[in-house]
Amino acid sequence: MALQPSFQKSLVIAGGYDAPHTIEVFLDYVCPFSAKLSLTIDSVLRPLFAPGGKYAGKVKVIFRNQVQPWHASSTLVHEAGLAVSRVAPEDFWKFSLALFKAQGEYFDIPTSTLTPLQIREKLSKLVGDSIGQDKVAAFQDHLALKSTPNGGNAVTDDLKYTIKFSRQNGIHVSPTVLWDGLVASEISSSWGEKEWKEFLEKKVTV
């Protein structure tokens, strides 16, 4: 497990950064199966890894942005998530859940007639509705294009980091889940509390 220091307060979405076991979840905001898994993470895993939970201090969950470029909006929604991770790291997971729940608005057909600027405006509204209007201006500043014609924005380097990380580790499918650095192909987005508890019972060794 390796995580850029600037992401430690945002992309560790359950458990503490120092927990010895690591679950890494590669999720795409416009993937229905990723959305399904995100709800399970929130309802099943986060309570187990929180203070007082059975595996508190033993397991952490890291969110890995998995851009799927065959969906034209995927880059834009992941830029939004990364911008929130900079502006309000403590609200990254809250915003991510809101984006997963609203993902249908960012599917191929609903966004086919929108410009990137219009999509970012929709995402700005989601930021205001989900984590507070006081975060919107800074969020928009992070997504504003730089003065050079092809310079990207304030989170372009973060986006490159996440994409390069997936590529070098051969991650293609969303969602993909790693346990302690290895792909756990048995994990499914259809898993519920029973399956996760059985998995953790076998895997947690500390």
Residues 164-199: tens digit of each pLDDT: 999 999 999 999 999 999 999 999 999 999 999 999
Q: 117: closest CA among 154, 151, 155, 73?
A: 73
Name the E strands within the chain. Answer: 12-14, 21-27, 59-65, 176-179, 182-183
Residues 124-162: tens digit of each pLDDT: 999 999 999 999 999 999 999 988 999 999 999 999 999
What are the residue ranges spanned by the domains of the chain? 5-203
DSSP secondary structure letter of residue 206: -
Which percentage of the chain shows pLDDT scores above 70?
A: 100
pTM of the model: 0.96
CATH of range 5-203; options 3.30.420.40, 3.60.20.10, 3.40.30.10, 3.40.50.300? 3.40.30.10
CB 41 within 8 A of CB 10: no
pLDDT band per the 50, 70, 90 thresholds, residue 104: very high
